[in-house]
Amino acid sequence: MKRALWMKQVGVCLMAVAMTAGVAWADPTGAANVPQILNGVTLQGEGGSQQRTFLTTDLISFEATYYDPADACAGVAPVFVQWFLFNLEGKFIAGEAPAGSDQFAPGSKYRLLFLDLATNSLAPDSYKFTFLVRSCNDAISVVLPEFLTIRVFAP
């Protein structure tokens, strides 16, 4: 019962942000001609080691790789990049501010998505996060294929 409620809340939140047709789950095994978000990771600070458990005093960096196969979008930023954080029960915790996006190289179809949370931003608990991206041509919105979980502990 809780899972169904959680999924409904998440779905409503993501659909409300997208607000148009063309929302898709990224699928790393899917067709290469659709935008995709791949490789969601969490790091301890910028350039830090990849991990899923943190202390409340850690700087937490959230990153993912976004791929848009459209030639018109090569080297062009998406319309928007949003990051969402939920607790395990599906309650929306954070995500009001837009996330960042940088191209890997000039003209690249791949972009780094990122958001850094300052120390003491999260209370001890378990959380799930995702990114939502609207393609540069405003044609499709894509989210990670699954919500990724992190755990935050008190020092």
Place of tokens 């599906």: 90
3-class SS of residue 3: helix
| pLDDT reported for residue 106 | 92
Task: Band the pLDDT of 79: cuts 50, 70, 90.
Answer: very high
- Is the pLDDT reported for residue 24 higher than 60? no
| pLDDT reported for residue 47 | 74
| Separation of alpha carbons 97 and 149, rounded Å | 20
Q: Which domains does the chain have, with CATH numbers?
A: 2-23+33-153 (2.70.50.60)
For the segment 1-13, what is each residue's pLDDT rounded down to a tens digit? 454 454 455 554 4
Task: Band the pLDDT of 60: cuts 50, 70, 90.
Answer: very high
Q: Taking Cα atoms as reference points, which of 132, 20, 136 lies closest to residue 71?
A: 136
| pLDDT reported for residue 6 | 47
